[in-house]
C-alpha cells in the first residue's frame, strides 16, 4: 500500500509568545538620542493566558517607557504550527 500525507490541521499560534523583542528610542531634542534594545521572556505556570491578558502584561512595559519619553516598539515572531500524519491509501 502507498503512503500519503493527511490533510494538515488548521494552523495554531502558541500562547503566550515566549520572547518579545523590545526596541526603544528617546530623543533629547539637541541632536542627541539614546536607543535601548532588550529581549523579554514570558513564562507562565498554570492555565494558558488569553491574547488580551498577554497584551495587558506588555502594556505595563510599553506604558512605563512611554511615560518616560521613550518611543517603544514591542515585537514577537509567531510561527504557526500545523500537524499532519502519514496514512495508507
- pLDDT at residue 61 in the model: 92
- Summarize pLDDT for 7-66 with one digit per residue, the tens: 988 887 777 777 889 999 999 988 999 999 999 988 889 998 888 888 899 999 999 999
* Residue 66 phi, psi (nearest 5): -60, -40
How far are the Cα atoms of 11, 19, 26, 44 from residue 37, in angstroms, in the given order? 30, 13, 12, 23
Amino acid at each position: 500500500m502507498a503512503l500519503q500525507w493527511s490533510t494538515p490541521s488548521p494552523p495554531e499560534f502558541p500562547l503566550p509568545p515566549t520572547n518579545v523583542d523590545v526596541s526603544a528610542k528617546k530623543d533629547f531634542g539637541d541632536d542627541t538620542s539614546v536607543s535601548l534594545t532588550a529581549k523579554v521572556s514570558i513564562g507562565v505556570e498554570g492555565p494558558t493566558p488569553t491574547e488580551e491578558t498577554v497584551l495587558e502584561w506588555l502594556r505595563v512595559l510599553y506604558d512605563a517607557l512611554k511615560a518616560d519619553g521613550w518611543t517603544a516598539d514591542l515585537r514577537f515572531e509567531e510561527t504557526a504550527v500545523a500537524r499532519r500524519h502519514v496514512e495508507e491509501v
